[in-house]
Every structure is written in structure tokens, then in C-alpha cells.
Structure 1
Amino acid sequence: MNDGSEDDLIFSKIQQNYSKVKILTHEKNRGKGQALKTGFNFILTNKTNIKGVATIDSDGQHKVVDLKKLEHHFMKHMNDLIIGSRNFGKDVPLRSKVGNIVTNQLVNLLTGIKVSDTQTGLRIVPIKYIKQLITFSSNRYEFEFDMLLATKKAGINIREVPIQTVYLDNNATSHFRVIADSLSIYSRFFKFAFSGMGSFLIDIVCFYIFIYLMVGKSGNAILLATIIARLCSAIFNYIMNKKFVFSTSNSQPLIKYVVLMLSQMLISGLLTTLLTHLARQMYETGWITLIKIIVDSFLFLISYQIQKHIVFKKVVRSNAA
């Protein structure tokens, strides 16, 4: 795939020496994700008997022998996503090591998907998953990241195959833009965190004010303050998540969101009340607020998963190919 490269010498040599190779070209650079989607779409349109598609980076990081290892595993598991996982030892460039460690831990924390190499470009993708991948909106390095994140929703298992770790000239040939592409990869989490933090602050401030006004005046002060505060923050959170975090066109998330919000609100109120009783701090506004912050921090992670996979779940059309 020639993604807008100004130097087409390598592609000319490939075409001369391997006449059966089909080279697809973008007139200008459109990103790694779009390049993969262009290739996938070509396969779907012209190669109807294909069971899976292999992807491999062109910067010399992957070996043919490792591709054959992945092919061997794919022949036994043709419905799974097979990825080549590198071992990030002391000889790996720092930016590559740090980027993979951070991404791996983030994926594990927020999705429960345990993958040791989230940024590997050596993969074999089953044809049934490719039909969904070409509908993804991501076009650059985040596309491969989204490919992993969406496996659970698509019912795709991930199988890791150990491969060699090769970096030429300290990975100088990589086109990965450390700041720009990292922000692109993590943008969904950043936006959700911003949305959550904004609504969290609104919720906590309102809760503190209402608990200050009602404490000692009602036996249900904590629950009432929780309800009022959550209603104040819910509108902000819903609009942010629907428009900017998950960017869904689905017109029916409101009811699901309300059910989630009410459930989360009730659990938060009951747990805060229970823990406040156990701590014997029923009349200390500061302690009550601190306990609520701890409770809602745990509920935050659970809420992300529910909103991503249920509330704002994107509709994938079966005729997308």
C-alpha cells in the first residue's frame, strides 16, 4: 500500500519483480488506518474466497518467519484475531517501550482485554471482522488500537504469538508521531476522563452544598443530596459522552443512559450512607463527601464499560462491505 509516498522507487521495483502483486495508492497521505481500510475493502471486493488478511509493517520490524508462525496459528483458529507479540526487553527504544507499557495497562484497566503488545503491526485478521473494521471512523495509528478494543463487542478472540523484536537504527524509520499519534490513540479515554471529571466536579460541589444544608435535618439527607446532585451533573455528562466521547449516531441511548444514571445514583447513595454509618461520620460534611468521592471513583470505571458497550454502542450495518 502506497499511502501518498513521494518516493515510489520501492513500489516500482516491487511491480517489476513481482507482477502478481497489486499495489494500491493514495495520492496523498491519509494515515495508516485508512491505508489498511483501503486494502481491506479491496480484498472484500475482489477476493471473495479469502479467510483472513495479514498485515505487516514495512519498516523492517517483522520477519517472514514470524508471519508464517501467525499463519500456522490462524489455520487452526480462523475466526480469531492473531497478533504477533514482541518482548520489550532492555534493547528496545525507550519511546517504544514506554508507549506499549502505558497502552497495555490502559487497555487492561478499562476494557479487561489483556494484550502484551497493543501496537504490533503484524496481525492476521479474520475476514468476518474485516467487514466491521472498514466501518471504523479512525484513520491513523489509533485504528489498530480500536481494532483490539472492539474485539469483545464483535465476539472476536485475540490470540498472541511470540515473535522477534527488531528495531533498526533505534526505530528511526518509524512514522509514528510520538505526541500527535499518542494523543490520537488515547483521545477516547482522555475525552471520557474529561467528561467524567467535569460531571464529577459538578456532582461533588452540588452534593457538598446540599448535604451542608440538609445534614441533621433529614434521616435521608445523603440519599436526597445524592439524587439532586446527580441530576444536576447528568445532563452535562450525557451531552458530552454522546457528542464527543463515543460520537454515536444512535438515536436511542437516552433511556439506557437514564437507567444507568439512576442505578449508579442509587448505588452511590446507598454505599455512601452505609460506609458513613460504619465510619460513624454521619454529621461530618467533609467526611461524607470524601466517602462519596471514593465510592464514585470505583463506579466511574464500571460506568465507562457500560456506556461504551451498551448505552452508546455503535450500530454496525451488515451490508457495510
Structure 2
Amino acid sequence: MKNCIIVIPVLDPNDAFTPYVKQLISEDFKSIIIVNDGSSNEKTQIFEKLDELPEVTVLTHAVNMGKGRALKNAFNYILNDSDLATQHGVITVDGDGQHKVSDVLKLCSELEEKSSSLLLGVRHFQEENVPWTSRMGNTITRHLFRLLYGKGLNDTQTGLRGISTDVLPDFAAIEGERYSYETNMLIVAVHKGLRLKEVPIATVYIEDNEESHFNPVKDSIEIYVLLFKNFFKFMSVSFTSFLIDISFFQLFLFILGFMTVGREIIIATILARAVSSFFNFSISHKWVFESKKRWNQTLFSYYGLVAVQALISGVSVYWLFQLTGIKEVILKVFVDAILFMISYRIQKLLIFKSHEK
């Protein structure tokens, strides 16, 4: 008996769905949870017959609630069942027949040996049968994910995933009701320091992916908003900090006008950054990065970064001022914009990152 639970969210399954489920049963999968996500009445008989099989449990949504909600409801069902919760893990499978049973078996074999893991069945997007929309969407998303979260993944939208049971609670109640939920799974996995492993699988697209219920506009927007959500929060706090910083920088330039130009710029930069950084640290710690580290664990490294940034900013502004003669405040805007992006990655991936396993 396979010690993996199969979860299949499905909306209006085709004629191949029942044989596919029976093939999974023939491979000794004894726990298969199917979530009928608001299918039409014409499909009721399919689910009724499947529910009669001892290996199958059918959960039903009266209306379509989205793939994310279907997966979360299945995960909660598993966690509330003492027998299911002892299995090695869960494998999520799309209901459109695009995941081969042999690949499901491959993920189950990997999952039985690993804990604290999220396994991803990775497709090859360079093959000729891949629709150009899927190839383009995956390329954009994986590059954005790497840029914003520092993790290189080849297939961010795969529906064939293996989740070890010990980390299932981490994914049972997170944000996302539709396809954006699967993106949020990756963000949570990176944030919590879970083991992410990519497992190559067959690339199957049936009739140019016509069976998919993915809305290219609505679902893509939700995914990209989710990807940028943390960055937008960082931008808003950083912009406010920048206004505080630039205002105090100008004030200190006025106060220190009796000094030499070089000393005036360096000291004004350091004093202004001391004021703005206290605001930035306080808000970033709990609201932007939602860090579970204690303040004393992040304060030293944060202000170390602030000191280095202030030094680089001050020296760069002074050097550019000597070279170009452009007004100091304008040069500071340019220099700090570059340091802004670098600072985001350092804070997210090093300073405020909580390593939870």
C-alpha cells in the first residue's frame, strides 16, 4: 500500500477522469480525496460512483470556490482524520488528465523518504506541445520569483506537488482561493525554509490545454499581485522612510553649512539615516517581512546594513558631486534608488528571514 494521499480538485471532469482514478487505485493508492469544486449537475453521477469506491472520498462544493479553496479544504480534512494524518504525505494532482500516473508514483517514492518537504513535478516548457501562453507565463513568473524571493524554480505553476505530512498545516490556511494559492505555497515554503525539490515529469498538454479552467487575465493578475505584495509593502515603507530621510538630510545640510562640503554631506547623510532607519526598522520587522525573529536578533544586522548603506550613499554622492557638480539632493535620489533594490534583497533573504523547520 502506498503511504501517500492523493488529492484531486476537479471541475466538470471529462470521460477520462474515472479511468484515471481507477488506475491510481490499481497502483495501490488507498486514500484518494476528490474535491468536486462546484461541477454541473450533469457530472453528479460520476462523483457518486467514485464515492462508492472504498479508496475514494469525495468532498463537494455546492458552488465553484476555486482550486486553492479546494486544496485547503482537502488538507484540513486530512489533518482532522487521525489515520490519514499518519501518512507520509500528500500528492496534489490536477483533474484534467495531464499528470501521468507514473509521475505520481515518482513523487510518492520521493516523498516517502523525506520530511519537511515540498516536491514539485517540473515540466519541460521547450517542448513543441507546450502552448505559447503557458511557456510565456511560466518564464515571466519564474524570473519574478527568483528576483523577489531568491529561489530559482523551473516550473512555478505545476499542479503535481508532493507535501510531507509534517508541513501540511503550513499550507492549510494560507492566502489564495484560486490558482494564486499555488504560488503562495512556494512563497510560504521559501519563507519557512522548507526543502524544495524539483522532480522532472512528462509534459502533457491535452488539446492545447483546453480543459484548464485557468483564466489568463484574472488568475495571472492575482498571481502577480501576490508575488509583488511583499515588495509593495516594502516600497511604501521605504518611500515614507525616504521622505523622512531626504527631509532631514536637507535640514542637516542647512544646519551644518559652516563645514566643508565633504564633511557636511557625510555627516548629514548619517544623521538623516539614523532618524529614518528607526522608523523603517520598526515597521519592516513586523509588517513588511512579518519576521518571527526577536528584535535583538535583527537590530544589529539591520543597523550594520544601514551603516554600510549610509557610507556608500555618502561617499557616492560626494564623488558624483565632485565629478558632475549636480545638486547633492538630486544625486542622493539617484544613488539611493540603486541601494533600495539591493537593500530589499538583503533584508528579505538575510536579516528578517525566519528559519522555521
Query: Secondary structure of 1:22's partner?
Result: strand
**Distance verdict in 2 for CA 1:240–1:72, change over 3 Å:** closer
- Counting only pairs closer than 5 Å after superposition, residues 169-180 of structure 1 correspond to structure 2 as 169-180=207-218
- Counting only pairs closer than 5 Å after superposition, residues 4-43 of structure 1 correspond to structure 2 as 4-7=38-41, 8-9=43-44, 10-16=46-52, 18-43=53-78
Identical columns (%): 31
In the alignment, which residue of structure 1 is the partner of 2:96? 59
In the alignment, which residue of structure 1 is the partner of 2:87? 50
In the alignment, which residue of structure 1 is the partner of 2:118? 81
In the alignment, which residue of structure 1 is the partner of 2:268? 224
Q: Give the partner amino acid of 1:126.
A: S
**Distance verdict in 2 for CA 1:237–1:79, change over 3 Å:** closer
| TM-score normalised to structure 2 length | 0.72
Deviation at 1:193, TM superposition (A): 3.4
Larger % of strand: which? 2
Deviation at 1:143, TM superposition (A): 2.1
Distance, in Å, in 1 between the alignment partners of 2:226 and 2:308 is: 26
- Counting only pairs closer than 5 Å after superposition, residues 107-256 of structure 1 correspond to structure 2 as 107-204=145-242, 207=245, 211=249, 214=253, 217-218=258-259, 219-225=263-269, 227-228=271-272, 231=275, 235=279
**Distance verdict in 2 for CA 1:240–1:272, change over 3 Å:** closer
The reply on whether 1:71 has 2:108 as its aligned counterpart is yes
**Distance verdict in 2 for CA 1:6–1:78, change over 3 Å:** same
Higher relative contact order (CA 8 A, sep 6+): 1
Query: Secondary structure of 2:353's partner?
Result: helix
**Distance verdict in 2 for CA 1:229–1:49, change over 3 Å:** closer
* Equivalent pair of 2:68/2:178 in contact (CA under 8 Å): yes
- Higher alpha-carbon Rg: 2
RMSD, matched Cα = 3.5
Query: Secondary structure of 1:268's partner?
Result: helix
Structure 1, 28-37 or 148-157: larger mean CA deviation: 148-157
Distance, in Å, in 1 between the alignment partners of 2:274 and 2:229 is: 20
Choose from 299, 302, 306 the match for 2:343: 299
Distance, in Å, in 1 between the alignment partners of 2:191 and 2:235 is: 26
Deviation at 1:58, TM superposition (A): 0.4
Distance, in Å, in 2 between the alignment partners of 1:112 and 1:84 is: 20
* Equivalent pair of 1:145/1:185 in contact (CA under 8 Å): yes
* Equivalent pair of 1:223/1:269 in contact (CA under 8 Å): no
Structure 1, 263-272 or 157-166: larger mean CA deviation: 263-272
Deviation at 1:239, TM superposition (A): 5.7
Per-residue CA deviations over 1:162-188 (Å, capped at 9, x if unaligned) read 111111222122122222222322324
Distance, in Å, in 1 between the alignment partners of 2:332 and 2:86 is: 63
Unpaired stretches in structure 1, ≥5 consecutive residues: 317-321
Runs of 4+ displaced beyond 6 Å: 252-261
| TM-score normalised to structure 1 length | 0.79
Query: Secondary structure of 1:29's partner?
Result: coil
Per-residue CA deviations over 1:129-183 (Å, capped at 9, x if unaligned) read 1022113233322222222222244442122111111112221221222222223
Deviation at 1:11, TM superposition (A): 1.3
Q: Give the partner amino acid of 2:121.
A: G
**Distance verdict in 2 for CA 1:79–1:191, change over 3 Å:** closer
In the alignment, which residue of structure 2 is the partner of 1:319? none
In the alignment, which residue of structure 1 is the partner of 2:17? none
The reply on whether 1:271 has 2:305 as its aligned counterpart is no
In the alignment, which residue of structure 1 is the partner of 2:21? none
**Distance verdict in 2 for CA 1:229–1:179, change over 3 Å:** farther
In the alignment, which residue of structure 2 is the partner of 1:290? 334
**Distance verdict in 2 for CA 1:265–1:227, change over 3 Å:** farther
Deviation at 1:228, TM superposition (A): 3.0
Query: Secondary structure of 2:202's partner?
Result: coil
**Distance verdict in 2 for CA 1:206–1:150, change over 3 Å:** closer
* Equivalent pair of 1:108/1:115 in contact (CA under 8 Å): yes
**Distance verdict in 2 for CA 1:275–1:94, change over 3 Å:** same
Deviation at 1:34, TM superposition (A): 1.9
The reply on whether 1:3 has 2:37 as its aligned counterpart is yes
**Distance verdict in 2 for CA 1:41–1:288, change over 3 Å:** closer
Deviation at 1:84, TM superposition (A): 0.8
**Distance verdict in 2 for CA 1:260–1:175, change over 3 Å:** farther
Unpaired stretches in structure 2, ≥5 consecutive residues: 1-34
